[in-house]
Structure formats: structure tokens, C-alpha cells
Structure 1
Amino acid sequence: MQSSHSHLLAHSPEAIAQLQAGLAAQGAEQWSTARHHYQQGIQQDPHWAGLYVNLCATYRATQVTQPAERALGLALRLDPQLGIAHYYAGLLALDRGDRETALRSLKTALAQDPELPETYPTLGEVWTEQAGLEPWLAWLRQHPLPKTIQQLAPKQQAAIAFWQGLAWDDTDPVQAEQCFRQALACDPELGNAAAQLGQLLARYNRFEEALAITEQALIHLPEDPHLRLNHALCLLSLGRWDEGWRAYEWRRYSDQNPWVQAAGPEWNGQPFRGTLLVLTEQGLGDTLQFSRYLAWARQRCDRVVLWCPQSLVRLMETVAGVDQVFAGDDCHIAYRAHVSLLSLPRLARTTVEQIPAPIPYLRPIAPLVNQRPLPRQTSQALAVGIVWQSGPHMKDAARKCMALDPLAIALQFPGVQLYSFQVDRSEAEADRLAAQGIVDLAPQIKDFADTAAFLAQIDLLVTVDTAICHLAGAMGKPVWTLLPYAADWRWLRDRPDTPWYPTMRLFRQSRPGSWTEPLDRVRSTLEGWVRSGAEPSRSNPASRQSR
């Protein structure tokens, strides 16, 4: 609304009196009274564009469209640079369903008058709907918000602060944290802000704080699936697995974890007669890690049938406790109950101190090992496999991955032959592998059974956090896993080892985003092994400190 701050000295006292009376009536939602005063003011001062804007607002409030459009058209003819007029042009365009025009008008409104607070939340909503979130966040990064934002209602202030937090989430975590906290202060029921703040804190290993934020938000939003999932991941990261597995069942309601639906009853973990259908979910690494529970499940039913991605079928057929494995969308197998693979830890009452399945529980297919001999330049060299990227579609892939060259440089020295297991490497990376004398196994790997056949022949795998580290660990192969500063929940915190895989050693970043220090430790340890002639398979990686 056009009010007393807008150049009142340029207008007659009679028109100003009508404006003020109209504003009072409008504030009380007495639309006809407000409209009368604005019309009287226009008679006193027909060239005051602001009065036409306020008249438009009263018509729009009572859904009288054509007079509202006419009043606004007069305002814009009188003053084409009046920001509030362009704001109402945007609102009227939204009423018509014309979101493109609305977006242009709202952008013009702020270009003409950046102090208009009510324009920001409306522009944000329209812009994100029309063009996605990133263009709006990029605009926020480039345009400081005016102090007039504080005039907005608390929920609107919260929405703006939340968007600001998202805008700075990747580049300025301190400012992002402040924005998310401000959003929650304005609206404690803004679940998205609590979820984002919790995730930000978790990325910097502040899991206790993240847990506290999430639990506070759950008081207001006990059914919010994103908060519930964050809550579960915090508990699991902190080693509170008894609570964490139960809370983790909320993942089925979150769009972060697509859930596979199956007909019939869900298994409760009790013994029964009949066939159990086990459904995999999430990433390939999750299937490799939690397939250890299939033997436990098989002890409680007559038959276990596993549904998994095609790339895992041949390997999963070797897992103890599995009677049949299939892939694809159609299931023609009769079963009595079904269960998600990642629900089995809860049913088995898994704790950090008690994880089922002896190692190895995954094994290579013997004929494949003979058909896939590892190319060796010399039998004396230590055969070391490397992987530097996880799947780009995986969550937090950018934080988990590194470039090829730093890893190769850290591991290349006399007495070591490197083998690349990176199946999705680029052509440029393939050229660099060849130039550095690294054997590229990708052309010979069609699925995880092929990968296992080659893993069986190497001495050590050095990899980022991706599916192959779980395969190597499940096979009992020495594997060194390079972890980001705030690692996934399954790796717990600060430990150099993992209860999941006794032959795995963890090399964690000591600073977010920097691989220099963990790679230095990897190189130093490998050099020591090469000099001493010790075999990695005969060492006890879990007994060594890596952080």
C-alpha cells in the first residue's frame, strides 16, 4: 500500500487526510470505506499514483477484477517507475494465472524499489515455481536484503531467511547457519529450516547439535518425514543404533529414499514357514553391506528370494542364505511376507558391538577369477586397486570424490602396480591412466561379479566411499577407504576402523574438502609396507591409528 512515507509533502492536505483515513479503514478490512476515501482523495489530487494503487488493492481484496486492473493501469501511466504498482501488477497477473507476467512485474517492482518488503516472499515463490530454486538463490546472493524485511509477518520473514540459508549453504556455512537459525526463531514450525540446519551441522561433524535441533523441531512437527530421517541419521552416526534403527524406518516416507512397494504383509522378524521376499533399496553399496543379513533371515523362514539391481544379480547368487535372485519390475514369485533389506538390522537388533555375519560373506565366482587374470608386470609388485569417484547420482557425491591425479600420485612409487577399478571413468581419465602406467580394468568389468573376480587377485584396494569398498570389505580384502570430513552415518565418528569390516581401515579428512592430509597418510603407510615387505592381508589395519 502507498502510505505516508511516500512524498506526502507533494500532495494537498485534503488528499493526505483521505489517504490516511483509507489506510485506517483498509487495516480494519473495511474495504468499501477505504475505497470511498481513496476515491475522494483522487478527486482532490487526480495525479497521485499511489492513491490509485491503494484503490486497486481494495478492489482486489474483494475480488473485483476489472476495476482493480483499471485503477492500476492509471497508476502506472502516472508513474511507470512506481515499485508498489508493479508489485500489484504481479499480484493481479497471479490472480489471472499468468505467472510469467507476474515474475516480470515482481522483478520490476524490486528493481524500482528494493525497500518493498512484501515483494520478496512473493517473488521467491513465483521464481522458484517458474525457473527452479537456483536462479532465485543466485539473485539473493547478489542482492542484500533491506531492513524493511523486518516489517513482514514472522512466517514471511522465516521464508526469506530460509531461502538465504539455502543461498549460502555451500559457500558460507557460518552465514547459512545464522539464516537457518533466524528462520526457526521466526517460525519454529518451519520444518525445512530445521532439516537444512541439521544437515549443515552434520556436514561439520556437529551431530549432537544437529540432533538437538531436530528433536526440538519434532516437538512442533512430529510427523515430518525429513526431520524424522535426519533424526535417525544423527542417532546412527552417534552409535545409538538401538534407537537409530527404529527411527530409520521413517525413510520410507521421505522422498530422499525412494521406497519399493510390495503387496502382502511386511515381515516382523519372527520365524515363519514360507518364502520371504527381500527388497533392496538405495545404493548398490547398501545392498553389498546389508546382504550379510540374508543368512540371518534365512534361518527364520523356509526360503529367501532377493530382488536387486541387475548389476548385482550374479554376485548376490553367491550369498549364503539366498535361494533365488531376480531383477526387473515384474515379480511372479509367490511369497508369504516381504521386507526391505535395510530393515533387517532393526529386526536383528544390531548394535555397534554385535554385527552379524562372519567375513567373508561375499565371494568371487571361481571360474570368473580364472577367466579374468590380473595383468601383472612383475609378481613382486604390490597390486593396489584404486577408485576415486562414486556415482554422480549418489547423495553427497561431490564431497566423497576426488580427482584421479592426486590419488595416483600418492600411490605411485617403485614396488607398487596400480589397477583402476573406476568403471565410469571418462575418456580423458582413461588416457591419463595409460600415460601413468595404471592398468585400466574398466573394459573388462560388466557387473559386480567381474569386479569381485579382480578384487580377489589384488593385495589392497584404496578407494573413496562408494560401493566397491563394501564389496572388498565383505570379501575380507584389505581396503583403505578415504572419507570426507563428515562421513556417512555407517562409518560412525573419529574411528580409524569400522565394526562392519575388520579388514578395512578408514582415512578421514581432518579439514572439510581437503584430501591432502589423508592421502599423505595413505602414502606413508603404503611406503612402509613396501619397504618392510609386509603383506597388507597379514596386517591388522584396525589396530592402527589413522586420525
Structure 2
Amino acid sequence: MSVQHEQAVSKALAIHQSGDLENAENAYREILQKDPQNANATQLLGALLIQLGRVDEAVPLLEKAIEICPHAAAYHVNLGTAYSRQKRFEEAIACYRRSLAIDPKYFDAHRNLGSVLYRMKRFAESAVELEAATKLCPSPFDVRVMLAMAYLKADQLPEAIRVFESLIQERPDDRKAWTGLGQALLNTKDLSKNAELLDRAIAVWQALVEREPDNLAFQNNLATVLKNGKMLEEAEAACNAALRISPDYYPAMCNLGIVYAAQGRFEQAQSMLAKAVAISDASMESDTNDEFDSFAKSPKHRCTALSQLSSVTNLLGDTQTAMKHIERALEIDPCDVESRLLKGFLFLQSGKYLEGWPEYEWRKRGDQPPRRFRKTEWQGEPLQGQAVLIHAEQGLGDSIQFIRYGKLVQQMGGRVIFLCQRPLAPLLASCPGIDMLVADGNPLPHYDLEIPLMSLPGVFRSQPDDLPNEVPYLFANQDLIERWNQRLASNGTFRVGIAWQGNKQFAYDEYRSVPLAHFAPLASVPNVQMVSLQKGEGTEQLDSVSFSVQAFKDMDEDSGPFMDTAAIMKNVDLIISSDTATVHLAGALGCPVWLAKSFMAEWRWFDDDRSENPWYPTMKMFKQPLLHDWKSVFESMRHELEKLVDVKTR
């Protein structure tokens, strides 16, 4: 470029930068008439035409400028901008990436690339580019807002919270920053387990409600964060505050129904959720433009309401109606994980295992999926000496129940490596069908295939009438059995081992665990000696009951978890337990065991009144006739126990 032409371009650019676009365009065109190959004037004219909205004219000019001078990073950015305006997003992305290949520290390229990726809903990639832009130089507020939103939508919540907090420090009254922060905190999993984040989330939504007390979404989000934090009374109040503003506000009704369910007010929960669904159905049929219609018609929220209604209806004992609700939910969103899982549980608890196992596989897409390993998951094909890693998932009782499937994998020609929870390793070492037992945290040997433990029943298409239920498949240590026989000197009494308290972290533990006081009718049977099998939580109840229970504080301390428990079980005449790992252990050992079965029992105990359980041939189940009615259960047990004791002592 001649000095004269360079000066002309500089003069035209000055006119351009002054905002006189018409004269700037004329100046650029005059230069190009004299020097058609002037790349700078060509790309500047293209950039000006973008400003004027004449993008179709700009594109060929920018493409020509790049042909003339392919190594100018700014030219690629301008062409990317033009493509973006034309919604040619993939081509725009390619332009920005070429610009960054030339100049990796080019702010505009990172910013614009992040913006296009955001528009394409590729939020994780967008966040990478926008973060890079903010590190290059002090970034405009709107760029950092987009960065925070990209993190939020990519579910990278700690990063979103960090950026939103910095935005609020800069602009304390910025509404978008506050609502974004609130949403990021609200979306945080296990919020109730992080006191600092929970307090911050509550404070943010309370502040937003104070600013806009009539904002229904804010009221409902406050209710949601309170609910997630197990602050149920406060959540109920927030829901009702929203409903006072708008009595038919569907999201708050749905939230209130969920709160009622968490409080154990199941009939009220069912009524509220049914009302929410009815209002949602009516809004779908309505042609009105009510400001809440779009929210009420949201597939996600309608699906959630139906799924929750199904769950509560099932808890109240109406499996058939619960299935109808979940089918409707899945018509709205066939890929909703919680709904698919609930459908699976409904099938399983009804004994329809072949229909239930495929739905149960949806747990792999949920919030707490089984661990994934690098090898291919075994699908049930014949094995020719290949090593299959079976890895435990969920609770200790689940491992005790399903480890029986290792033997079936061996029968398929596989070599079984079982990765178990570390506390169970000593106990499970006695299980046939396991070639190698590895405690969690120890190095894994070579293996060819992997499978989560609780996928095995589906692989083998297990049904209630053909379960692998030969017992025992776990065995107590013989030396420990003899040692505990000496410690348990019974003087001819009928020994009953008891456990009553499950894991309090379980969602419905208060309905499946049994207060120890309810065992009193059993303790009153003559010649019965009660022996505690309870460890940890629940043992404090021993000090508050009026009957005698033989307890051993050193149980399982030296020998390892469940090892003494198993030995004691082999020294008692009967085990009676609520739904805990203890009841699984008794069944796996082949010991006589009675289950105090909740009205809202888990799927493996079935939803009907049957007393036998095909998973454990030595088990007898006593089901509550009504929720909370343990008295009837233990009166029935007392009558049966009297008969057993009479036979032994006759």
C-alpha cells in the first residue's frame, strides 16, 4: 500500500470513527476505485456495512479482504460477525477460531466466539471463551453477565456463583445478577448439606422478595430453596404467600403439595397436587394470555406435578391410579428420569419385574447414578472366561441382597470381580460366586467388562417366581458363632434378635423405621430373651424402654461390620427387624426373620399383603394395615411368637 493510500485509509477511518457513516462509506469506496486490492479499506467498508445493517453486502467484501490478507486476525472477526448476523453460526465459529489461531489473545475473538456459542446453547464451550476474554482485559459488565449465565446453564454452579457474586459487588442493585445468583444457588445439589450456601440462597431470595413482593416466581423460588433446605414450615409459608397473590398460581401449588408430602401430610399433598394438575390442564385448553400461562404450560413443570402426584398416590396405596398419573407425565416428557424411575418402581412393587427392570435402568441418568468405568458394560452375552467387574451401588443392604447374582455370572462363563463397600468386605468374603473381592479404595485387577450390581436382575430377566433364592449364600464365622453362643447364655429361653432403626438420611426413614417401644408386646411373651442387633443410630432408645434388651456395645467393633451380628443371628431363634440392612443379612444367612413392613414399603417387599418374600425364603412379612399403625403389626407378631415359643418350650 502506498503512503498516499495509507493516509487516505486513515482519513476515512477517522470519519468512520466520528460516526459519519455515509461520508465514511463514500471515502472507502473512493479508495477502492483507485486501489481495488486495498485489504484494509475493503474490510473497513465491510465492517461499516455491518453497522448499517447491510450484512449481505458486507460478506463478499470481508471474504475478499481475507483472500488478500489471510493473516489479519481482525478480518476474520469481522467476517465472523457478519456470518453471525446472517445466523450462519458454524461459519462464524470457524472465523473466530481462525482469528484465535492467528492471535490467541485477541479479546474480540474470544468474546464473539463465546457469544455465538451461547446463542447455540453450547454453554460449556461458551463459558471457556468468555472466561478467556475476561482474563485478557477488564471486560464490559454485559460480557461477564453472559459468562455467569453460561456457567449457570452449563450447570457449572460454583463458577456461576463466583461470577455473579463479583457482578453484585460491582453493581449491588443489578437485578439480573441477583436473580442469576439466586438461580445458581437454587440449582445446587444437596444444598441442605452446605450450610453456608443454603444460608446465602435463602438470603438472596428473601432480598429479591423484599424488592418485588408481588413477584410470584420470586416467592416460589424462595419456597423451593427453603424446601430443599428441609425448612418445611417456612417453605409452606412462602408457597402460601404466592397463593395469596394469585390463588391459582400453579407452580406454587405444586411446590406446596411437595412440601405437604415431605411433612407426611399425604392426603393434603395429593389434593393440592391434583388441583395443580387440573389448573394446568385447564390452562392448556385455554386461549387466554394470562401472564402465568406460559409457566403453567411448561412441559417440565407439568411433568413434575404429575410425577409428584403419582408418587403421593402410590404412598397412599393406590398403585393403579399412580400408574395412570405417571403415564401422563411420560406423555409430556418421555425422557424425564424421575418419572421413568417411578414407573419402574411401580412395576417392581407390583411384581411385574420384566416391565420394571428396563425402567430401573434410568437411574443411570439420575442425580446419583452408579459409577462408570472405562470398560464396556456387560449386557448378558455369553462369557468365555472374561473377567466381569461387578460394582456395588446404593446401600449396604442392596449389596447383601444382590451379591447372589455373582454365581449366575459365573455360570455364564465369567470370572467375577466384586467391588464392594469397604465395611462389607469381611462379611462378603464368605459368598460363593465371587472369584475376587475388592474393597472400595483398593487397586482393581485387570477386567474385561463391567456392570453395576443392581443391573444384574434385569440382565437375567429375573421374575418373582424364578429368583436365585437359595439360602444361605452368606456365612457367619464359625469361631465367632461359638464365642457368641457362650456370651448369650439363654437358660432355655427363646432368643429374638431385634433391629429397629434404619439410616435416618433415607427420605422416608420415619415411616420404615420402628420406635423400639413398639417391641414391648414381644418382650412380654414369657420365656423370650430380646437381643439387640442395633448399631449406631437408634441405640439411645435402649435407655428409654421399660423392657429388657440384651445389648453388647462391643458388637462388630473388633471383628468388622456385621461379623458379630451374623454370628449372633446364628445363635438366636428368630430375627425381627424393620427395613434395614439387618433384615437382608438375616435372609442371606438363611435365618428365620420377620420383617416389620411399612404401609409404604420399598418395591422389594411388594405392595400387597403377602407374608412370604421370594427374595428370602426364610422371611415372613407383617405389613401395616394403615400408615403409622405399628401397633397392629406387633400384636400380630406377638400372637405368632407365642406359638413359636410354646413349641420350643413345650
TM-score (norm 2): 0.62
Closer, same or farther in 2 for the Cα pair 1:449/1:193, shift >3 Å?
same
Distance 1:227 1:528 in 2: 45
Distance 2:533 2:539 in 1: 14
Partner of 2:54: none
2:576 pairs with 456, 462, 473, which one? 462
Distance 1:105 1:350 in 2: 53
Shift of 1:475: 1.4
Larger radius of gyration: 2
Partner of 1:404: 516
Distance 1:483 1:334 in 2: 42
Partner of 2:378: 267
**Does structure 1 conserve the Cα–Cα contact (< 8 Å) formed by 2:370 and 2:393?**
yes
Partner of 1:48: none
3-state SS in 2 of match to 1:372: helix
**Does structure 2 conserve the Cα–Cα contact (< 8 Å) formed by 1:353 and 1:499?**
yes
Distance 1:106 1:141 in 2: 12
Shift of 1:234: 0.4
Shift of 1:218: 0.6
1:179 pairs with 268, 272, 284, which one? 272
3-state SS in 1 of match to 2:360: helix
Distance 2:211 2:569 in 1: 61
Q: Give the aligned residue type for 1:472.
A: A
Closer, same or farther in 2 for the Cα pair 1:461/1:171, shift >3 Å?
closer
Partner of 2:627: 512
1:252-281 residue CA offsets vs partner (Å, 9 max, x unmatched): 1122x4421111100111222221110111
**Does structure 2 conserve the Cα–Cα contact (< 8 Å) formed by 1:313 and 1:326?**
yes
3-state SS in 2 of match to 1:486: coil
Distance 1:486 1:456 in 2: 30
1:245-304 residue CA offsets vs partner (Å, 9 max, x unmatched): 11111111122x442111110011122222111011111111111111111111123421
**Does structure 2 conserve the Cα–Cα contact (< 8 Å) formed by 1:387 and 1:464?**
yes
Shift of 1:109: 5.4
Partner of 1:415: 527
Closer, same or farther in 2 for the Cα pair 1:303/1:382, shift >3 Å?
same
Distance 1:337 1:412 in 2: 54
Distance 2:598 2:430 in 1: 32
Partner of 2:259: 167
1:523-545 residue CA offsets vs partner (Å, 9 max, x unmatched): 1111122233379xxxxxxxxxx
Distance 1:534 1:271 in 2: 53
3-state SS in 2 of match to 1:477: coil
Closer, same or farther in 2 for the Cα pair 1:131/1:142, shift >3 Å?
closer
Partner of 1:530: 645
**Does structure 1 conserve the Cα–Cα contact (< 8 Å) formed by 2:357 and 2:458?**
yes
Distance 2:539 2:503 in 1: 16
1:498-523 residue CA offsets vs partner (Å, 9 max, x unmatched): 11111111011011012010011111
1:376 aligns with 2:488: yes
Q: Give the aligned residue type for 1:178.
A: S
Distance 1:395 1:301 in 2: 39
Closer, same or farther in 2 for the Cα pair 1:377/1:450, shift >3 Å?
closer
**Does structure 2 conserve the Cα–Cα contact (< 8 Å) formed by 1:180 and 1:196?**
yes
Shift of 1:390: 0.7
1:193-252 residue CA offsets vs partner (Å, 9 max, x unmatched): 222112111111211111111111111111111011001000101111111111111111
Report the more deviating stretch, 385-394 or 135-144: 135-144
Shift of 1:180: 1.6
**Does structure 1 conserve the Cα–Cα contact (< 8 Å) formed by 2:323 and 2:346?**
yes
Distance 2:268 2:223 in 1: 23
Shift of 1:450: 2.2
Distance 2:314 2:223 in 1: 29
Shift of 1:164: 1.6
Higher helix share: 2
Q: Give the aligned residue type for 1:502.
A: P
1:146 aligns with 2:258: no
1:158 aligns with 2:246: no
Partner of 2:394: 282
Closer, same or farther in 2 for the Cα pair 1:362/1:427, shift >3 Å?
closer
**Does structure 2 conserve the Cα–Cα contact (< 8 Å) formed by 1:242 and 1:351?**
yes
3-state SS in 1 of match to 2:331: helix
> What is the aligned length?
431
Partner of 2:21: none
**Does structure 2 conserve the Cα–Cα contact (< 8 Å) formed by 1:424 and 1:442?**
no
1:97 aligns with 2:178: yes
Partner of 2:595: 481
Shift of 1:309: 0.9
Q: Give the aligned residue type for 1:439.
A: Q
3-state SS in 2 of match to 1:307: strand
Distance 1:534 1:345 in 2: 42
Distance 2:395 2:308 in 1: 22
Distance 1:175 1:305 in 2: 48
Distance 2:205 2:632 in 1: 51
Q: Give the aligned residue type for 2:602.
A: D
Structure 1 gaps of 5+ residues are 1-62, 64-90, 111-115, 151-156, 536-547
Distance 1:102 1:93 in 2: 14
Distance 1:180 1:496 in 2: 33
**Does structure 2 conserve the Cα–Cα contact (< 8 Å) formed by 1:93 and 1:102?**
no
Partner of 2:550: 439
Distance 1:370 1:529 in 2: 24
**Does structure 1 conserve the Cα–Cα contact (< 8 Å) formed by 2:219 and 2:239?**
no
Partner of 1:31: none
Shift of 1:127: 5.6
1:466-511 residue CA offsets vs partner (Å, 9 max, x unmatched): 1111111111111000011121111112111111111111011011
Distance 1:429 1:204 in 2: 29
2:471 pairs with 354, 359, 372, which one? 359
Distance 2:331 2:412 in 1: 38
- The alignment's C-alpha RMSD in Å is 2.6
3-state SS in 1 of match to 2:416: strand
Structure 2 gaps of 5+ residues are 1-141, 143-171, 183-202, 281-295
Closer, same or farther in 2 for the Cα pair 1:102/1:393, shift >3 Å?
closer
Q: Give the aligned residue type for 2:236.
A: A
Distance 1:315 1:166 in 2: 40
Distance 2:427 2:205 in 1: 55
1:123 aligns with 2:219: yes
Q: Percent identity?
A: 27
Closer, same or farther in 2 for the Cα pair 1:94/1:254, shift >3 Å?
same
1:391 aligns with 2:506: no
**Does structure 1 conserve the Cα–Cα contact (< 8 Å) formed by 2:223 and 2:236?**
no
1:501 aligns with 2:501: no
Q: Give the aligned residue type for 2:346.
A: C
Partner of 2:93: none
**Does structure 1 conserve the Cα–Cα contact (< 8 Å) formed by 2:511 and 2:600?**
no
Q: Give the aligned residue type for 1:469.
A: V
1:106-129 residue CA offsets vs partner (Å, 9 max, x unmatched): 24754xxxxx4xx22222225645
Partner of 2:326: 214
**Does structure 1 conserve the Cα–Cα contact (< 8 Å) formed by 2:347 and 2:353?**
yes
Distance 2:568 2:305 in 1: 46
Shift of 1:427: 6.2
Q: Give the aligned residue type for 2:618.
A: T
TM-score (norm 1): 0.73
Q: Give the aligned residue type for 2:449.
A: A
Partner of 1:471: 585
Shift of 1:174: 2.6
Closer, same or farther in 2 for the Cα pair 1:199/1:376, shift >3 Å?
same
Shift of 1:443: 1.8
Partner of 1:85: none
Aligned pairs (5 A) from 1:249-264: 249-255=361-367, 257-264=368-375
3-state SS in 2 of match to 1:97: helix
